[in-house]
Each structure stands twice: as C-alpha cells, then as structure tokens.
Amino acid sequence: MYAQTTRTTASRSRDRMSYDRAAAHRVLDEAYHCVLGFTVNDEPRLLPTLHVRVGDTLYLHGSTGSRPLLAARGDAGLPVCVTVTLLDGLVYGRSQFHHSANYRSVVAHGVAHLITGEDEKREVLTALVEKVGVGRSADSRPPSRRELAETAVLALPLREVSVRARAGAVREEPGDLELPHWAGVVPLRLTAGLPEPDAGVTAPVPAYLRAPVPPWREPAPLRGAHVLLEPLDLAHADELFAATAEPEVFAYLTNPLPTGPDGMRAIVTTALTAAHRGERVPWVQRCARTGAVVGSTSYYEIDPQRRSVAIGHTWLGRPWWRTGINTEAKLLLIGRAFDDLGAVRVVWHTDIRNSRSQAAIERLGATREGVLRMHRQRPDGSWRDTVQYAMTVNEWPQAQARLRERLRRAAPAG
C-alpha cells in the first residue's frame, strides 16, 4: 500500500479512493499517456506525454528543450503532479444530476529528476517502446547518440500515489426510479484498429500488432509440398497484383479486376478489414518450390456454434492453374476445418456461370446442394445466382484419400 498523505487524501467520495500499489500499477501500465502538471513562474502548466512504469518509478518522455525538463536539471528536481485516467463507461441517469462515468484514475505527487546517464536513458526508452508492443525494441533501430541527446526522460519515484475509481450501475434518488427515461451504462474501451503500413513497407504486420483471435478466426500458417499458406498482409499486394491481375482470373469474382497495384491493395484492405471484424480468415498462397506469391484464399461464414465454415474468396494466377497448388490448398484448409477446428460442415459458393469452378469443387468431393438465387451482386451491378456445395465430416475421410492420391500424381508446382 502507498502511504496516505495530505495531498492524496480525498475530501469527498472517499469510498472511491484506494492506495493499493498493485491497483495503481495496473492503471499506469494499461494507459499509454498521462498528463504532467508543474508550475512556471507560479503559473500552472499541463503537458500530455508518454510514460512507462519500471518497478516503483514512473518515467516521463519529453524533449530536452521543454521548460519542465530544463527545470528538472538541478539537484532540487521539479515538483510535479501526474494524472492518468482510463474511461470505462458513460453512465446515463434518469436525472441529469446523476449522469456520471465509470473510470479508473491515478494521481501521483512528487519531485521528478532528469535522467542524465546514457545507459539508463537507453533502458527506459527501450521499456517505453516495449510497452507499445512486446518485441518492438528488437524490431526497430535503437536511438543514435544524437537522438538520445535530443530526448529527455524524467524519473518520478512513486511514493505519494492514490487511485480513484467508479464502477457499476446508475445511482439515483428513489423518486427518480419511476421516471420514464432510459437509464444505464454504455461501456467504453480502447481497441486497436487495422494497422496501416507506411509507404514502401514490405515487411508483414508483426505478430505483436495482430489482435489475439480464437482458433476459428486464426490464419494459422499451413504448409504442404506444393503450397504454403500464410496470413494475408498488405505487404503481399504488389506481388499478388503481378501474379494474378488478369481478366480470366477475376472473371467470376465479386471484386473487379484491379487495374494497378493500388486496386489490389484495396482488395487486400477489404479482406483484412473483414478479418478485423471477425468475418473472414484470409491467407496468401505461395508456391512451395519458388516462394512466389501466387494467389489468395479465405475462410468466411465462420460459425463455431454450428461448426461450419465456408472456403472461398479464392484467386490464383493463371501459370499455377492445373498444378497441385489449388488442390493442396483446399486439402490443407478442409483438413484444418475438420481435423483441427472440429467442424462438421465445409461450404463452397460459386457463380452459376462458372462451370470450371463447379467442376473443381466437385472434384474435391463436395456435394451440390442447390442454387441461391440473386445471392450476390457482381462488379457490373448484375445479380448472380450462386451454386452452393458442401462436404460433411462423414464424407471427409474418403475425400481426403482421393485428394492425396491426386496430389501424389500431380507434377511439382511451378
């Protein structure tokens, strides 16, 4: 527990106060930014900045030219107050007076000192980078001596620290409970969006920036003798465009033929956005022999409760048609669905005009179940009838044996 002082003692709503060290650390570690308060010529100043906690010391990031950090150079240090707030929800009361918020906040008082040792400063900046992504410090260039000289770090020992929090439901006067107005809590949470790579980036999105997902929505890497399936990434867009952007490849797809790399990046972004929403699991297909990106495929209509998944959004460059790549990709995806995820049903959809695709699905061992009329809109605005196929887990062993035999006879991919 942190010691309670005159500066950390609440004058009202004391039931919301805490001096628990672990609770304070959780709030500081979860938050990415704080507000640093100090005075300049007896006038208050507030500076939003980044922070990281290491043990019982809070480190604050800044520039060597900023006034508070210049003031902290001396032995006396800089008296500061640091606040961190996490907003967890908006509370709507029947009365305006009882509108409120659910939150967790920390206030820390003390004297901050400027870190002058180069080794300690490097360690703190590494910890700050690791806070935004575990593993990021090894995945980025460390600061140069000039950059270190331009960066300042304040160290604030955590001694006078208080935690204040509100959680739970609406709290109102008994007479308000009969009012006809809606009341309740709207939860709020910080969620990461889809990573947007900088121009010219060819490296895939690192694992620490990919949100954890349940197995049914995880694009687990799959390896065969002919094809490698790995998570689709915007970094694959240029290679996908070069390998697949032909009219015949996109003739029956719901995406129009991309006319340039930007068009393919838009297609990939759509797939990744759907994956971010949990609606799709996209892979890129690589030739196992050459490593070249040759196409893409996905799970969609993912339903763990009914233990069903569809395979589609598939396109493959023409040079790799009628090789073992498409057959083995389907073998790997069907096998993952039935053997790893416990699915009982795998589904395919294809344009009723696409006789080649229908024949390929039937060769997999799937059964035609019917036609979904006016099921999807084509890029030209017309409505397509969709042929639906499916394979059940009971049909999988026999289909698997046939597919393995076809692959055994197939010529090497390439």
| Span 363-385, average pLDDT | 95
Asked if residue 216 lies in contact with residue 120, where contact means CB atoms within 8 angstroms, the answer is no
Domain locations in the chain as residue ranges: 14-187, 207-409
| Span 172-199, average pLDDT | 93
Asked if residue 154 lies in contact with residue 113, where contact means CB atoms within 8 angstroms, the answer is yes
Name the residue among 177, 195, 190, 185 with its Cα closest to residue 235: 195
| Span 350-359, average pLDDT | 96
| Span 177-191, average pLDDT | 95
CA torsion angle for 336, 342, 345, 349 (degrees, to 10)? Answer: -40
Share of the chain above pLDDT 90, in %: 80
Tell me, what's the pLDDT at 413? Answer: 45
Identify the DSSP state of 175: G
Q: What CATH code would you report for 14-187?
A: 2.30.110.10
Tell me, what's the pLDDT at 414? Answer: 42
Superfamily of domain 207-409: Gcn5-related N-acetyltransferase (GNAT) (3.40.630.30)
pLDDT at 14 over 90: no
Asked if residue 269 lies in contact with residue 280, where contact means CB atoms within 8 angstroms, the answer is no
pLDDT at 226 over 80: yes
pLDDT at 243 over 90: yes
| Span 285-310, average pLDDT | 97
Tell me, what's the pLDDT at 59? Answer: 96
Name the residue among 141, 120, 270 with its Cα closest to residue 194: 270
pTM of the model: 0.81
Q: How far apart are CA 1 and CA 5, in angstroms?
A: 12
Q: What is the pLDDT of residues 94-141, one digit of tens each?
A: 999 999 999 999 999 999 999 988 999 999 999 999 999 999 999 999
pLDDT at 65 over 70: no
Residue with tokens 């961190």: 84
| Span 255-268, average pLDDT | 94
Identify the DSSP state of 303: E
| Span 155-164, average pLDDT | 95
Q: What is the pLDDT of residues 207-223, one digit of tens each?
A: 889 888 999 999 999 99
Lowest-pLDDT choice from 10-19, 31-40, 100-109, 370-379: 10-19
Q: Which residues pair with 40 in a beta bridge?
A: 43
pLDDT band at residue 86 using 50, 70 and 90 as cut-offs = very high
Produce one character per residue of 192-205: b if its CB has 16 or more CB atoms within 10 Å, e if not.
eeebeeeeeeeebb
pLDDT at 196 over 70: yes
Lowest-pLDDT choice from 200-209, 321-330, 334-343, 380-389: 200-209
- Higher confidence at residue 343 or residue 116? 343
Name the residue among 86, 68, 103, 76 with its Cα closest to residue 30: 86
Give Cβ neighbours of residue 208 (< 8 Å, ≥ 6 apart).
133, 134, 135, 136
